């Protein structure tokens, strides 16, 4: 089903334009060339990234899809395998940068919680000492 309009099944098509001859793309049947209708439209490599990003394909299946896309693009004269792999590496680096920054924030929060916990224990001990001295 098309994730944009949820009415039709996404279709695989081949471009017939001179600039993108035989390049594969995926679109909603309701999408129109003039931009009207459903907005869902991706070149093959973009569609595969969309599927991976949204968890619709994963693991070995994603690797197989990457290889198929690379062959398809190479055959269509659009990109070579190295460029497709470089794009995947860039996407992975961006994901790792985000994950590392989130991890650092979590570590900072946990350290603050630990300090506050120890301060709470110290205050509790002080209160007990004062009460015991009375």
- Residue pair 23/76 in contact (Cβ under 8 Å)? The answer is yes
Distance (Å, whole) CA 3 – CA 7: 9
Which residues, in sequence order, are bridge partners of residue 27? 11, 41
Residue 101 lies in a domain: no
Distance (Å) of CA 39 to CA 10, 82, 125: 12, 30, 64
Distance (Å, whole) CA 29 – CA 85: 30
Alpha helices in 1-134 (DSSP H): 44-53, 59-75, 81-133
Question: Is the pLDDT reported for residue 84 higher than 60?
Answer: no
Give percent of the chain with pLDDT exceeding 90.
25
Distance (Å, whole) CA 63 – CA 70: 11
Residue 71 lies in a domain: yes
Residue 99 lies in a domain: no
Question: Is the pLDDT reported for residue 12 higher than 60?
Answer: yes
What pLDDT, on a 0 to 100 scale, did the predictor assign at position 73? 55
Distance (Å, whole) CA 27 – CA 42: 6
Question: Is the pLDDT reported for residue 129 higher than 60?
Answer: yes
| Domain carrying residue 42 | 11-79
What is the helix (H) or strand (E) element at residue 27, kind and residue range? Answer: strand 24-27
What pLDDT, on a 0 to 100 scale, did the predictor assign at position 77? 55
User: pLDDT tens digits, residue range 37-49?
Assistant: 888 888 888 888 8
Residue 2 lies in a domain: no
127 by DSSP, 3-state: which? helix
Residue 40 lies in a domain: yes
Question: Is the pLDDT reported for residue 68 higher than 70?
Answer: no
pTM score of the predicted model: 0.45
Residue 127 lies in a domain: no
Residue 96 lies in a domain: no
Comparing 58-62, 75-79, 120-124, which segment has the lowest mean pLDDT?
Answer: 75-79
Dihedral sign for Cα atoms in the order 93, 97, 103, 107 = positive
Question: Is the pLDDT reported for residue 71 higher than 70?
Answer: no
Residue 98 lies in a domain: no
- The tally of domains found in the chain comes to 1
């Amino acid at each position: 089903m098309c994730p944009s309009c949820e009415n039709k099944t996404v279709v695989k098509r081949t471009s017939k334009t001179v600039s993108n001859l035989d390049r594969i793309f995926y679109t909603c049947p309701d999408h129109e060339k003039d931009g009207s209708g459903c907005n869902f439209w991706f070149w093959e490599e973009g569609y595969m990234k969309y599927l991976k990003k949204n968890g619709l394909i994963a693991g070995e299946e994603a690797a197989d899809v990457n290889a198929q896309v690379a062959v398809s693009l190479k055959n269509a004269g659009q990109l070579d395998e190295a460029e497709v792999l470089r794009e995947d590496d860039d996407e992975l680096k961006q994901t790792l940068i985000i994950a590392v920054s989130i991890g650092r924030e979590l570590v900072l929060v946990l350290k603050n919680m630990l300090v506050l916990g120890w301060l709470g224990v110290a205050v509790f001990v002080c209160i007990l000492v004062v009460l015991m001295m009375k």
